[in-house]
Amino acid sequence: MIDKIRELLFKLFKKESFIGKIIDKLFTKEIISYIFFGVLTTAVNLLTFYLFKKLFISIGWEGILNTLLSSAGWEKALDFLSDGSDYLDANTIAWVVGVLFAFFTNKLFVFESKSWRPSVAGKEFIAFVGARILSFVAESVLMFLMVTVLSWNELIAKIIVGIVVIVMNYVFSKLFIFKKEKTE
């Protein structure tokens, strides 16, 4: 399928042209697969976020950060989080579900790392989660800034931040986690 799309694009733009070279670099099986599974991971993440956000609203949960600040007597900080920090909790749960989904789809379909030997898969999983922790911190900080500081809609902020995270995660996965084994 990807080869057919590439063929069609190269009929429109000569492979040697500037646009043809961009197409040649960007329309690879790996990148298209990463985008496809990135979109699915984002959908899983957004759906999980939405469901837990609704659940927290229905049970009156204001969030772990609110609970901690309240128990510490930090009333001024609580005023800053007047609508609660439940979206951060929902985001954390969505992140865990998304990371598990992304690990398996990236390992099997995007980077085609087929080894399930504990020494290989375990190392990949630890590196994958480590990289995702970095992107999770970036995601949480951006979500906090956009929602709490800038008063943006939570879902819009989540979508924008998701795009930033997809790019970060591809770079981490490609360069550090699912490295192709050299065969000689």
Domain ranges of the chain: 29-177
User: Are the CB atoms for 169 and 131 separated by under 8 Å?
Assistant: yes
CA 120 to mean position of chain CA atoms = 23
CA atoms of 45 and 62, how far apart (whole Å): 20
Please list the pLDDT of the chain residue by residue as tens digits (184 residues): 677 877 888 888 888 888 888 888 877 888 888 888 988 998 999 899 999 989 988 888 777 777 777 777 777 666 666 666 788 888 889 989 999 999 999 998 888 888 888 988 899 999 999 988 998 899 889 998 999 899 999 889 988 988 888 888 888 888 888 876 554 4
pTM score, whole prediction: 0.70
Q: Which residues of 110-129 are buried (b: 16+ CB within 10 A; e: fewer)?
A: bbebeeeeeeebeebbebbe
CA atoms of 120 and 113, how far apart (whole Å): 9
CA atoms of 118 and 141, how far apart (whole Å): 33
